[in-house]
Amino acid sequence: MLHMQNIGKLYQTEMVQTQALREFNLTVEEGEFIAVTGPSGSGKTTFLNIAGLLEPYSSGQYTLDGIDIGKLNDNQRSDLRNQKIGFIFQGFNLIPDLDLFENIEVPLRYRGIKAKERKKRVEQCLEQVGLAGRARHLPQQLSGGQQQRVAIARALAGEPRFLLADEPTGNLDSLMARQVMTLLEELNQSGTTIVMVTHDQELARRTPRNIQIVDGQVADFTLYQGGHAARETVNKTVGA
């Protein structure tokens, strides 16, 4: 469903040029759960931004669900993010002035969904992440783990085909991290495709497929089967 071919990303300032991604190739199939790891500065976030249509790429081709992203304008990209992609951020990125219900509602409002339907979906998602009954709480009244669950609920509310998680457990202690990870695994089992960027090797080992980014390229490709460390390095070029 996600297909990147020879993607390059060049950041240019007056002084320096930085090649954040180069000849980046990746294919993600429907229903996969992938962990993307790599040292800091390797291009993980750039990959995530491009995959999530948060920033444009400089060269190559990217198709998401059969749609050529390069041909979309800003509004179309916004709409596509809204409809197909759910985001989970390291810092949760909840809107502090809105209560949980209103936070989860945000993407649904952007999609123009009617109030009644919004209410139904928000309540359903809150239930799913185990926070039913706390709809009128403000984010700062919750613990970190709870906040991240709200963020997951927000990502799920739009029923996305594709979930992008940026260090989803980076700000959580290990117990909460495990809870969030379990939640993600459940979601994946129910059919959502997930790409998770993390620097936590332990977490990465729990996903069926790992990708390592080094110097803006996919460095190796590792498969874990059934959570066991049956490591298999595959060619750099994947799914081309």
Restricted to residues 74-133, the positions that interact with another protein (CB under 8 A) are 74-75, 78-79, 81-83, 87, 89-91, 93, 95-99, 102, 105-107, 109-112, 115
The least CB distance from residue 240 to another protein, in Å, is 26
Nearer to another protein, 81 or 149 (CB): 81
Q: How many residues bind another protein (CB under 8 A)?
A: 37
Nearer to another protein, 141 or 189 (CB): 141
Nearer to another protein, 17 or 40 (CB): 40
- How crowded is residue 43: how many other Cβ atoms within 10 Å of its Cβ? 25
231 part of the interface to another protein, by CB under 8 A: no
Nearer to another protein, 26 or 222 (CB): 26
Restricted to residues 133-162, the positions that interact with another protein (CB under 8 A) are 138, 154, 158
Token representation of residue 193:
């495709």
Q: Which of 9, 24, 135, 166 binds another protein (CB under 8 A)?
A: 166
Helix ranges, the chain (H): 44-51, 74-84, 100-111, 115-128, 144-157, 174-189, 201-205
Residue from 70, 80, 20 nearest 216 by CA: 20
Q: Which residues contact 212 (CB under 8 A, 6 or more apart)?
A: 36, 37, 38, 218, 219, 220, 221, 222
- Full 3-state SS string of 200-231: CHHHHHCCCEEEEEECCEEEEEEECECCECCC
Stretch that binds another protein, among 49-57, 121-129, 142-150, 232-240 (CB under 8 A): 49-57
The least CB distance from residue 89 to another protein, in Å, is 6
Restricted to residues 183-212, the positions that interact with another protein (CB under 8 A) are none
Amino acid at 39: P
Query: How far, in Å, CA of 210 to CA of 201, rounded?
Result: 10
Query: How far, in Å, CA of 195 to CA of 164, rounded?
Result: 5
* CA 3 remoteness from chain centre: 15
The least CB distance from residue 237 to another protein, in Å, is 26
Nearer to another protein, 14 or 97 (CB): 97
Q: Indicate the pairing of strand 193-197 with strand 209-214.
A: unpaired
Q: Indicate the pairing of strand 85-88 with strand 2-12.
A: unpaired
The contact set with another protein (CB under 8 A) reads 45, 48-49, 52-55, 74-75, 78-79, 81-83, 87, 89-91, 93, 95-99, 102, 105-107, 109-112, 115, 138, 154, 158, 166
